[in-house]
Every structure is written in structure tokens, then in C-alpha cells.
Amino acid sequence: MRLLKKLFDPAPGAAVSWHSGPIFVRVAPFAVFLALTFCQSSFGAVPAYWFYLAKTVMGAWLIWEMRPFVPEMRWALSWEAVAIGVAVFVMWVAIDPFYPQMKPSAPAWIPAVEFGQGTWVAWFFMVMRVVGMTVVVPPLEEVFYRSFIYRYLVKPDFLSVPFNVFNWMPFIATSVIFGLEHYQWLAGILCGLAYQWLVLRKNRIGDAITAHALTNLLLGVWVIWRHAWQFW
């Protein structure tokens, strides 16, 4: 993490410790992962798959590094998390034909086209995509949006804000920002509202991480089963 500390150090040459940088540990890993996502399509169609693999490994390492310093980043299982995870998946797929969406700048992720239908390489990258969106993406995004952004909008001293504190402006703003990160922006906004409600209800982000992972897992299986590549 020394390289990341240098990149995000507001005072060049000054030491930045994880313990003294609660914003850093919640923002820097997500920012790095997001930057890698934007770079993913810059290397051509086939190299983009290998870049995604490298990005997933990097994301897993970032989570490993930040985990000791972000105590709220713990998975939690509850019936609410399962219900929200399934409901958001159903909503995401059901409303897809009924609203205009942002156009992706990258080519569609269709491993069977690039590597051949039924080949082990195609299956490897499909499974890798599901693993990345299920295991790596949820902790990074939920920590950034639900632990940092929401609470920071409530109060700059965000660590003093309990997770069950409700405020309309951060509730809407965080969900909108989260939604606009996705091509399916309306589904993303509704998804953000649901995950934020779950955090407020349970007073922790672990259930939202689980719900997010379940949604992404079901969506990944749906994409592969139905060849619904537009969701990728």
C-alpha cells in the first residue's frame, strides 16, 4: 500500500498511516479499482479479458490490505439481506426494457465470441467475471458508498455517525451517485436505495455486502444462462 499512500498523500513527503486516514482506507481502494475499470477497454477486445483478471486479483488484494483497518467491512447474513439481494436481481432484469440506458463505451463482454463457444477459456473468463462481481465488487463499493459517502454527507466527522442514522439528502444522493456508476442507471439507483435501506435497518453494512453479492451472483448466472450479455 505504500504506492497508494504516495498517490493519495495530500502532503508530498508526509507519512500517511492507515490508522490516521479513515477516509483514505475507504476511498483509495475503490478509486484504484474504478480507475482500472475505466482503463479496461483501452487494450483491445481480447487483452481486456486478461486485464479484468488482473483487476480482480488487484481488487482482492486491496480488500485484504484494507480489511484490518475497516472494521465494518464484515459480511453478515440475514433474511433481509437474502430478500433484498433476490428482489434487486428480479427488479434489475424486469425493468431493463422499459427505460433508456447509457451506452457502454467498451465492447460487450461475450467470451464465447472472442474465444469460441464452449471452450475452457470462454468458461474461465465467464466464471472469473462472476467471481469478480460477487466477491470483490460488493465489499469495495459498499464500504465506499454506504460506510463513507452516506455518512460523510450526514456529517464530515463520518466515523461518529451510526449506520442507522437516516437523512433524506444523503439517502437520495448516495443512491443516485451509485446508480450513475452503472449503464442501467435507473436499476442502479433503485438498487442503491434498497442497499442503503438495509444498512439503516441493520445498523451495519455487512448485510448490504451480502445482498449486493447475491444480486451480482444471480445476475451473472442469468447472463450466462440466457446470454443476456447487455448486463455485462
pLDDT at 6: 45
Distance CA(27)–CA(208), nearest Å, equals 18
Amino acid, single-letter form, for residue 170: P
Q: Tell me the H-state helices in 12-158.
A: 22-39, 45-66, 79-94, 111-115, 120-131, 137-142, 150-154
Name 226's Cβ contacts closer than 8 Å, sequence gap at least 6: none
100-119 residues labelled b (16+ CB within 10 A) or e (exposed): eeeeeeeeebbbbebbeeee
Q: Which residues of the chain have pLDDT under 50?
A: 1, 3-16, 18-20
- The pTM assigned to this predicted structure is 0.90
pLDDT at 17: 52
Q: Which three cell numbers stand for residue 146?
A: 454506504
pLDDT digits (tens, 9 = 90+) for 150-176: 999 999 999 999 999 999 999 999 999
pLDDT at 108: 80
pLDDT at 15: 45
